[in-house]
Amino acid sequence: MSARIRIRSALAGEGLGNEIMIKGWVRTIRAGKEVAFLALNDGSCFANLQVVAEPRLANFADICAIGTGAAVAVRGILVESPASGQRYEIHAEEVEVIGAADESYPLQKKRHTFEYLRSIAHLRPRSNTFGAVFRVRSSVAQAVHRFFAERGFLYVHTPIITTSDCEGAGEMFRVTTLDPAAPPLLEGEVDFSRDFFAAQAGLTVSGQLEGELFAQAFSDIYTFGPTFRAENSNTPRHAAEFWMIEPEMAFADLMADAALAEEFFRYLCRHVLDACGEDMAFFNDHIDKGLIARVEQVANSSFAIMEYGEAIERLTKATVKFEYPVEWGLDLQTEHERYLTEQVVGGPVFVINYPKYIKAFYMRMNDDDKTVAAMDLLVPKVGEIIGGSQREERLHVLEGRMAEVGVNPEGLWWYLDSRRWGSTPHAGFGLGFERLIMNLTGMENIRDVIPFPRTPRHAEF
Ligand code: 4AD
Ligand code: MG
């Protein structure tokens, strides 16, 4: 009895001329009196393997009745296929139905909208598009780790439950074991000192603050984990749970930060072209016609850098009409970001040195006293994909900033300590992993690049 091999290997010709065993799910079936053809997919690659079954098989009638979606095991000889469009096929000696599927299986042959497929998120990984998306996602995640491993960055697991709101935007989900109907009160307020952590805790919005502590010991570190934001924005680019990659480097300034971000982004573009060719060809043909050329261009280009002030000037001079106002001191909206990267630059651009009022407390104050050493990387179609900065390493300046924006220093005594002893200029950034996958695949909704999206009012599966 041959051991099972994956369809990817069979389609590469492994076992050609010999008996092999494959297992997978039926994508399509065409059955006639003389022969039945089953297209089988096991998730290992985009293409299906064609199974040819003939009436001499004892259970031929049963094979002809197999439904789309059924799980089957096939033993047979791998041969060169006479048909066009595939190199190899398997001539079945035995077809065993492992798990049947009837006509009520929702993923029958016809094309479905992404919206419909979201309503069957438990089944959509078995479709062509989502098979490709999640293979790319997995491969790119591994490339992320490889990139940092090759450069000596320490991988640190920062906590998911935390008592500090890194971005200070008040978007933390609460973590509590208090009875919501009757929480303990102290002077009319909920008494969190009696909660599980004896403090108001939540799900992390970023691993940065803890990452900074590790950078002050290991020099170069990164985190790659889930982050949570109770942002009530129902957009194609926001999720309540998303994954973020956050490197942090000691002895580094904003320009070193931008250089790392560029090298990283280009590395991942190159990776997806080299390692995910078949899936990328699908996206290029069916999802986003110019995708491969665009990713190729980004992989080979050096990124532009533009001061926030110049960005505002360019936007003010733009002939297009924006929905949101443009003015020095206001944050850039997606429409502005896309205009800058798509129309002005025609490629990725770092916008740097934003007004302090629209950025987080930890960013390093520039000498002009108005702007901070922030950088956002903007890319076509997505807008902001990376947010980063040089950090304020001067204790008194940091304390001043915290007071200015109303961040309570008591809860962050440990963060301030990192500026007390052996403080270094340091910098880092956060890359939203889903936005990266959107950019690399051409998928336009964040809900379609994360297995089970969490967005306002949606956490069913
Ligand atoms: O710009 P953000 O908020 O930066 C930080 O969290 C910093 N602590 C990062 C750092 O310097 N270490 O978020 C970083 C990136 C964004 O550029 C975006 O790609 C992604 O995270 N992001 C989201 N992705 C999906 N859904 C959301 N709600 C997101 N919010 C941010
Ligand atoms: Mg940001």
Q: Give residue 301 CA to ligand 1 midpoint distance, Å.
A: 24
Predicted local distance difference test score (pLDDT) of residue 110: 77
Tell me: pLDDT of 111 over 90.
no
How far apart are the CA of 39 and the centre of ligand 1, in A? 41
124-169+205-448 maps to CATH 3.40.640.10: no
Which numbered ligand comes closest to the C-alpha of 388? 1
Atom 24 (ligand 1): residue with closest C-alpha? 432
Q: pLDDT tens digits for 179-214?
A: 999 999 999 999 999 999 999 999 999 999 999 999
Q: How far is the CA of 375 from the centre of ligand 1 (A)?
A: 12
Whole-number Å distance, alpha carbon 432 to ligand 2 midpoint, is 10
Is pLDDT at 146 greater than 80 in this prediction?
yes
Residue 174 pLDDT grade (very low, low, confident, very high; cuts 50, 70, 90): very high
| pLDDT recorded at residue 169 | 81
* The pLDDT of residue 274: 98
Looking at the domain that runs over 7-99, which CATH code has it been given?
2.40.50.140
For residues 329-333, average pLDDT: 96
State which ligand 1 atom lies nearest to the alpha carbon of 248: 12
Q: Whose CA is nearest to atom 1 of ligand 1?
A: 387
Closest CA to ligand 1's atom 21: 432
Residue 2 has a pLDDT of 82
User: Domains of the chain: which residue ranges?
Assistant: 7-99, 124-169+205-448
Give yes or no for a contact between 444 and 236, defined as CB atoms under 8 angstroms apart.
Answer: yes
Residue 382 CA, closest ligand 1 atom number: 19
pLDDT digits (tens, 9 = 90+) for 212-262: 999 999 999 999 999 999 988 889 999 999 999 999 999 999 999 999 999
The predicted pLDDT at position 63 comes to: 97
Which amino acid residue places its CA nearest to atom 9 of ligand 1? 430
Give the mean pLDDT of the chain.
96
pLDDT of 285 > 90? The answer is yes
CA-closest residue to ligand 1 atom 30 = 238
Mutation test of ligand 1: which of 153, 222, 244 has the most ligand atoms closer than 8 Å to its C-beta? 244
* Percent of the chain surpassing pLDDT 90: 94
Q: Output the CA 387–ligand 2 centroid distance in Å.
A: 4
Residue 177 Cα, ligand 2 centroid: separation in angstroms? 31
Q: Which ligand is nearest to the CA of 362?
A: 1
* Tens digits of residue pLDDT in 360-415: 999 999 999 999 999 999 998 889 999 999 999 999 999 999 999 999 999 999 99
In angstroms, what is the span from residue 278 Cα to ligand 1's centroid?
30
Distance 306 CA to ligand 2 centre (A): 16
Nearest Cα residue to atom 4 of ligand 1: 387
Q: How confident is the model at residue 109 (pLDDT cuts 50, 70, 90)?
A: confident
Pocket test of ligand 1: the residue of 162, 208, 242, 379 to mutate, having most ligand atoms within 8 Å of its CB, is 242
pLDDT band at 106 (very low <50, low <70, confident <90, very high): very high
Q: Enumerate residues lining ligand 1, CB below 6 A.
A: 166-167, 206, 208, 229, 231, 238-239, 242, 244, 246, 384-389, 428-430, 432, 434-435, 446
State mean pLDDT over 14-38.
96
